[in-house]
Amino acid sequence: EKGTYPHYMLKEIDEQPAVMRKIIQAYQNEAGELSIDADILEAINASDRLYIIAAGTSYHAGLVGKEYFEKITKKPVEVHISSEFGYNMPILSEKPLFVFISQSGETADSRQVLVKIKEMGHKALTVTNVQGSTLSREADFTLLLHAGPEIAVASTKAYVAQIAVLAVAATVAAKHAGHDVEFDLIKELGIVANAVQAMVDSKEAIEAIAKDFLATTRNAFFIGRNVDFFVSLEGALKLKEISYIQAEGFAGGELKHGTIALIEDGTPVFALVTQKPVALNIRGNVKEVVARGAKPCIISMEGMEEDGDTLVIPNVHSLLTPLVSVIPLQLISYYAALHRDCDVDKPRNLAKSVTVE
Ligand code: M6R
């Protein structure tokens, strides 16, 4: 039930701090340490490469997940769009483990890949919000998102849950494999939960941004580097889905290789600045678009903000920034859609789970 909320999407955005806390709790053992099933740990560590398979927002979460398994677990990862992978399979490694990410667990494009790789004799782990869903039943292992039912077509809390659960799995697998993990994920996710709360409490400021940048625009760009690029893809998808504004997410350095031709006077460009090693580069990319007339909305992280930035998100661990930086983008999309009189929870042409290939 959406209770006093005008839309499920807003309710689900607001639930995200609680979802973060729920995940910390659900994946803690009696000793207060993060843990996942031993079978899953063994499958991850016995594999020589993870193949993350997903669609839409879940694919975007998978891109962030790759960072975790490569940086924390030292495990090579490929991330693929399910509708492409099944019909054009790359050369697989010797001991692949397939990781299906799906909020609903019912996405047909992902299921056809699962069927194929099972026929080939490979093992699969499904990361899903729905216990007993098709992808969960047909895989060897399941990790649950614990996000609670997600009703709005635009996925919000499932995305942050997917990223958090992948961070937990990567960290626990790293310890299991004997790698040093330099941070305390329980503590860091606690800091994230508070930062997410601060963002959902900033609705007025974010609504004002949506009004200022998106009330009448035809198109919009989202740019970032490193994980900020992946969040840019998600920000653009969210905006397209519910406001029908044409939006594209780009790697900051890639825009100038063609797409910058679309920048006109007043074109909104949302830039994320949460990654210190590339902060100067992305700010350089912002200058390039501003020189062509773009209207920049800079969302930076505390500690690397500059005068003139539009919004500053609280400081969190550099690998976990997507969990926080996505929140203002979700809210910007929500308010843009609202002010354009769009049907926020049930956008045109879309269904909550896509059960056809
Ligand atoms: O249920 P799934 O996670 O497998 O769904 C995948 C996509 O259809 C889904 O994420 C879609 O992109 C959302 N509507 C995005 O908000």
ipTM reported for the complex surpasses 0.95? yes
Rounded distance between C-alpha atoms, residue 63 and residue 51, angstroms: 11
Does 102 sit in the ligand 1 pocket, CB within 6 Å?
yes
Q: How far is the CA of 345 from the centre of ligand 1 (A)?
A: 14
Interval 254-261 mean pLDDT: 93
Q: What is the mean pLDDT of residues 208-215?
A: 97
**CA–CA gap between residue 333 and residue 294 (Å, rounded):** 19
Which tokens hold the place of 326? 């996505």
Q: Which of 53, 81, 83, 107 to mutate to test the pocket of ligand 1 (most atoms within 8 A of CB)?
A: 107
Instruction: Note the pLDDT tens digit of each residue in 270-305.
Output: 999 999 999 999 999 999 999 999 999 999 999 999
Q: Is 326 helix (H, G, I), strand (E, B) or coil?
A: helix
With a 6 A CB cut-off, is 56 part of the ligand 1 pocket? yes
User: Which of 177, 148, 145 is CA-nearest to residue 160?
Assistant: 145
Q: How far is CA 18 from CA 14, 31, 65, 160, in A?
A: 8, 22, 21, 11
Query: What does the radius of gyration of the chain's CA atoms come to, in whole angstroms?
Result: 20
Average pLDDT of the residues in 10-14: 98
| pLDDT interval class at 355 (50, 70, 90) | confident
C-alpha torsion 62→1→130→199, nearest 10: 20
How far apart are alpha carbons 116 and 97 in whole angstroms?
13
The amino acid sitting at 174 is A
Q: What is the pLDDT of residues 77-129, one digit of tens each?
A: 999 999 999 999 999 999 999 999 999 999 999 999 999 999 999 999 999 99
pLDDT at residue 254, as a whole number = 96
- Of the pLDDT bands very low, low, confident and very high (cuts 50, 70, 90), residue 310 is very high
| Cα 60 to averaged position of ligand 1 atoms, centre (Å) | 10
- For atom 11 of ligand 1, the residue with the nearest CA is 56
In angstroms, what is the span from residue 337 Cα to ligand 1's centroid? 18
Tell me, in angstroms, the distance from the centre of ligand 1 to residue 40's CA. Answer: 24
104 ligand 1 Cβ < 6 A: yes
* Sign of the torsion angle spanned by Cα atoms 221, 13, 339, 198: negative
pLDDT tens for each residue of 122-169: 999 999 999 999 999 999 999 999 999 999 999 999 999 999 999 999
Count the alpha carbons within 13 Å of 246 in the hemisphere toward its beta carbon. Answer: 5
Q: What is the DSSP letter of 92?
A: P
Confidence (pTM): 0.98
Q: What is the pLDDT, as a whole number, of residue 70? A: 98
Residues 6+ apart with CB under 8 A from 70: 76, 77
